[in-house]
Amino acid sequence: MIDRGRLLSLGYYKKAPSFTGSDKNKCYKIERFREEDSEEDLFKATIWPGPFSSENTPEEVKQSRTAPFTEEGLQDLVAWMNSLEI
């Protein structure tokens, strides 16, 4: 289970490009994201089956979702990632 406490604070995501982690057979990446033609920051979570890195995993097996760049948005992404069977 991916725990919100293992992820970093909002301030981290404002300065760093992304955070990656894994939990059992799930690998994930959380990053700050901005859609084209938008001035609003979002969180983007991408999850894929382990054990390989994102770069070594085919795009068709990855799943992604965005959420508002808020604590609640990050918690929603954690719940979403935990709900997936990978």
Question: How does pLDDT run across 30-76, given as a tens digit for each residue?
Answer: 999 998 999 999 999 999 999 999 999 999 999 999 999 999 999 99
Residue 71: its H or E element: helix 71-83
pLDDT at 39: 92
Q: CA 10 to CA 74: how far, in whole Å?
A: 9
Residue 77: CB atoms within 10 A of its CB come to 23
On the question of pLDDT at 17 being above 90, the answer is no
pTM of the model: 0.90
Q: CA 79 to CA 21: how far, in whole Å?
A: 15
3-state secondary structure of 44: strand
